[in-house]
Amino acid sequence: MPRPNYNGFKRTLHPLLCRFLSAKKNPPPSFHPPRGTHDTFHATNRKRRHLERLLQTTIEKHGVSEIKTPTFDHRSLFDRALGATTDVVSKEMYSLDHTDPPLVLRPEGTASVARALLHQGTATQPHLWPCKVWYSGSFYRRERPQKGRYRQFDQFGVELVGCGTWMDDVECIMMGHDVLQRLGLAPYVELRLNSLGDQESRTRYKETLTEWLRPYMDELSDTSQTRIRNGDVLRVLDSKRPEDRQVMARDDRPLMSHSWNAASKDHFEKVVGMLREVGVMVDGGEEVEGEGEGGKGLLASNPMTMVHDEALVRGLDYYCHTAFEFVVKESGGKQNKKNKKKKKSVLGRQQGTVLAGGRYDQLYSVLSGGKHDVPAVGWALGMDRIALMLEELEEDTAESLWPLAPVKIAVLPVGDKGAMVCGGGGGGSGGVPAAVLSTALRIGHGLRNCGEGDDWDVLTNNDVGRLKQQMKFANREACEVVVLVGEDELDQGGCVSVKNMATSEQVQVEVGQVVEVVRKMVSRSGGRARW
């Protein structure tokens, strides 16, 4: 039997098969950012910069100075500071390969700040206290991503180190309120507050709660059972699992406040008392009017709602006494102007915490092996969640935090004559007389440096084309004023055209008058857009 001839098949299919197999072995890079991260572009970045500047200036008014720590740090630092059994340490840290000692991408800032201040000696010299610092940057946790929860996220944090009085807790909380108020978000969040008490009270409560949970062990989630076995019983309190919530909703659940000793009770009552003194709050549904002159005045226009949340424990081990979170109110607190319907917040219940922190008096002692006892209190704000809230607020109420966008002005060399038009694509500027190009450069330079500072963005497009192409560019960039530099006009008395894009008014002016004419056109154009 004649053998079949596969030559044609081989010739056509073989190269395709080879390409397929090699693509499988060596896949091209994906253009998606890694899960839980995102790329951000100019408009977003500009808003972020503005947001960060607002936070910095607000906090620096409290005499707080900036600190920067590395984005990766020793694994042992976080193991010790946050607790080896916490979710963050046991599951969520990103380790860097082959490093000795082991390093991880920082999951939070408090431990790194403590390490830095201990290293620098600030925290060890009482005469340098109080030391109040703020930081801002990216942090990393391998969490299940969803809206408002990312694997790379930005925090702005404040740490008041060497600050051991209950009044420091109040100051710290008021700083948090201050920044939220400055951002226009204060009416949409409430302060949830609890006290984890001191070591003695906490140990007593852990024992009481573990004992109480014993009969319900089988009804709890596996995670909670493991946590109890690891001595981390407090985390059962803030578990979101329905089976855990059902057990914890029982009326006879022991309350943390019942285990406070006298010192812990006194600390908490003084914090709450002073917070009431300075504002009007709704505490557990009951409205409490602030007493005292200063009190009513301070927060009267922006009342803060406070709830004593007995189940608030925070997920990191270093806290004692006051723990707090600013949480988006259930309804999102906002009304949609158009349909007047109360809207749920963009942030789900679990991602509703926009700023959180508390007191941590043992951290410096734990990190220094008992050598330095430095009380501290602080918080961190989630920038990504704040940005989402601001976006929603802007959509619903048209209130905007963002300043007016700079005016865009384009200075465009034009090659009208066929001979001068350079060839599109990667054509560059060949063929256009040097005089046109250099005049455009000089006008651009003059406009950027004429003293209008941040208010003007001066664009150019060097892929010189015909007038139509350049106007297309100006429209795409939403330029308000366009300066057209063409050879003919330059030849006839050194002139260029200045065009107001909104009114189509176009005037021919000498090069030396361009700045003045543009300034007049901009001032007449009125209503600038916001970012």
Contacts with ligand HAM, residue ranges (CB under 6 A):
108-110, 141, 143, 148-150, 153, 155, 157, 159, 353-358, 360, 378-380, 382, 384-385
How far does Cα 363 stand from its chain's mean position? Answer: 25
Smallest distance from ligand HAM to CB 327, Å: 9
Burial class of residue 370 (count of CB atoms within 10 Å of its CB; 0-12, 13-18, 19+): exposed
Structure tokens at 183: 């951002």
Smallest distance from ligand HAM to CB 62, Å: 15
Smallest distance from ligand HAM to CB 37, Å: 11
Q: Which residue's CB is nearer to ligand HAM, number 322 or number 470?
A: 322
Residue number with the smallest Cβ distance to ligand HAM: 382
Three-state SS annotation for 42-101 = HHHHHHHHHHHHHHHHHHHCCCCEECCCCCEEEHHHHHHHHCCCCHHHHHHCCECCCCCC
Q: Which residue's CB is nearer to ligand HAM, number 393 or number 511?
A: 393
Smallest distance from ligand HAM to CB 180, Å: 12
Sequence-distant (≥ 6) Cβ neighbours of residue 379 within 8 angstroms: 157, 158, 172, 173, 175, 176, 324, 355, 356, 357, 358
How far does Cα 384 stand from its chain's mean position? Answer: 4
Q: Which residue's CB is nearer to ligand HAM, number 93 or number 517?
A: 93
Smallest distance from ligand HAM to CB 232, Å: 16
Q: Is the peptide bond before 130 cis (omega within 30 degrees of 0)?
A: yes
Smallest distance from ligand HAM to CB 246, Å: 25
- Nearest partner of 213 among 225, 204, 223, judged by Cα: 225
End-to-end CA distance of the chain: 78
Smallest distance from ligand HAM to CB 451, Å: 41
Smallest distance from ligand HAM to CB 325, Å: 6
Q: Which residue's CB is nearer to ligand HAM, number 361 or number 487?
A: 361
Structure tokens at 155: 């925090």
Letter for the amino acid at 109?
G
Smallest distance from ligand HAM to CB 159, Å: 6
Task: Return d(Cα 445, Cα 439) in angstroms, integer.
Answer: 10
Task: Return d(Cα 154, Cα 159) in angstroms, integer.
Answer: 16
Q: Which residue's CB is nearer to ligand HAM, number 148 or number 444?
A: 148
Q: Which residue's CB is nearer to ligand HAM, number 367 or number 436?
A: 367
- Residue 319 CB-half CA count within 13 A: 24
Task: Return d(Cα 140, Cα 150) in angstroms, integer.
Answer: 8
Q: Which residue's CB is nearer to ligand HAM, number 107 or number 279?
A: 107
Smallest distance from ligand HAM to CB 36, Å: 8
Q: Sort strands 495-500 and 286-288 into parallel, antiparallel or unpaired.
A: unpaired
- Across-strand partners of 507? 498
Q: Which residue's CB is nearer to ligand HAM, number 259 or number 351?
A: 351
Smallest distance from ligand HAM to CB 7, Å: 59
To the nearest 10 degrees (0 to 180), the angle between helices 166-182 and 42-60 is: 140
What's phi and psi for 306, nearest 5 deg? Answer: -125, 140
Q: Which residue's CB is nearer to ligand HAM, number 51 or number 411?
A: 51
Give how far Cα 465 sits from Cα of 342, 414, 474, 486, 500, Å.
52, 6, 12, 11, 20
Q: Which residue's CB is nearer to ligand HAM, number 159 or number 487?
A: 159
Q: Which residue has the tokens 């959509």?
A: 395
Q: Which residue's CB is nearer to ligand HAM, number 47 or number 385?
A: 385
Smallest distance from ligand HAM to CB 139, Å: 7
Letter for the amino acid at 183?
L
Q: Which residue's CB is nearer to ligand HAM, number 320 or number 412?
A: 320
Structure tokens at 30: 């994906």
Structure tokens at 191: 């302060």
Structure tokens at 68: 């920067």
